Amino acid sequence: MIYQLAVPGPIEDVEELRVLEWHGEPGHVYDAGAMIVELETHKAVVEVRAARRGVLRQILCAAGNWEQVGRPLALLSDDPGEPLGDAAASAPFQVAFEVT
């Protein structure tokens, strides 16, 4: 199955976040608890970790770019060979995030 990793939210008084660093490139496999990406608000850093196993398939928002809360940052899948197909119809990828 194909999943969308979206900017996590809601975070109080935050409408957009900047991608600081991706912790992997397309093809990277994340186990539950692994850090996927670090994001930044104007006041804090947000660590986004996988809540389940998944394969990073495509990065939609490059490091240094800003994106609105709820917008997709990347596509992930269960299987690295799975066709991406219609990404707009993909399910959300479950994550845990911590604001520091």
Q: How does pLDDT run across 6-57, given as a tens digit for each residue?
A: 876 666 778 889 999 999 999 999 999 999 999 998 888 989 999 999 999 9
Domain parsing of the chain, residue ranges: 2-99
What global pTM score does this model have? Answer: 0.88
pLDDT in tens, 54-93: 999 999 999 999 998 888 999 999 999 888 877 666 788 8
What's the CATH class of domain 2-99? mainly beta
31 close to 50: Cβ distance less than 8 angstroms: yes
Measured CA to CA in angstroms, residue 45 lies from 11, 27, 69 at distances of: 12, 25, 14
